[in-house]
Amino acid sequence: MIITNKPLFKKGLLLMASFLCVFVSLFLPIWGGHGNGLDAADNMFNRLSKGSSYFIPGVQKQVLELDGKTVTITAKVKDPKLAARAVENLTKAGATAEFKDDAITYSGDLSKILSAALTDADDLFNDRGKAVLDRYATTDKDAEKTIVKAWWSVLDPSIKELQKQKLIQEAKVVGQVNKRGLEPGYNFYGIKSEKVLDNVLALVGLLVFYVIYTMWYGYAIFDMFGGVGLGMSKPKIKKEA
């Protein structure tokens, strides 16, 4: 490799070396907590996401509009363990349920069933896992998460079954219970909730760091290539005689 511009090459090399030092440091547990820099950033965004993902009260209003709507649904559930748990959930909600031939057939007031699912999701979202365990009188490890997951496993295939029965509005509400109730409750369980407005400086800092760090790497490559004579310049335009 022939270096045609040593000062420029050294500048690029210094930028690259410092870039790599910062890069390696991001994977070291020196940023507070029990993880590295990436974990710290990920945890912060998870907390902020949770702070803006609480939709359960609004979904509950939609569920109440289905009060008195009785349905009979046969939903296929792949995991037998979740199926058994789902049958217990449905029975607890006042429905009749049976698991047979890889499917759960249940009948009951859809509003009561969905309200029970949302109650469990709400407790999980707000880190009240013990309330879920007490409700179902179980002490199994991670049973609170299994209960909510079982709700999702039976309600998700129920959407298509309701659509087949031309119960379109009911299917939409079940979808909302899953997406805006059960999924956030399950995914954000155990994560502290924070508001974006309370973390503006941290967010701006991460954004500025990302922009600077990207340019940092770009200029390092640019200067190193320039130092060995590989640069970018406008082509000369030949004038016709």
State how far Cα 39 lies from the chain centre: 15
Residue 213: pLDDT band with limits 50, 70, 90 = very high
Helix residue spans in the chain (DSSP H): 6-25, 37-51, 56-64, 80-92, 110-125, 129-135, 143-164, 168-177, 183-187, 200-227
Q: Say whether pTM exceeds 0.85.
A: no
| Over residues 79-87, mean pLDDT | 93
Specify the pLDDT at position 233. Answer: 61
Specify the pLDDT at position 228. Answer: 87
Q: What type of residue is 43?
A: N
- Pairwise CA distance, residues 75 & 70, whole Å: 16
CB 52 within 8 A of CB 196: yes
Specify the pLDDT at position 32. Answer: 65
Specify the pLDDT at position 119. Answer: 97
What digits encode the pLDDT tens for the residues 49-74? 898 889 999 999 999 999 999 999 99
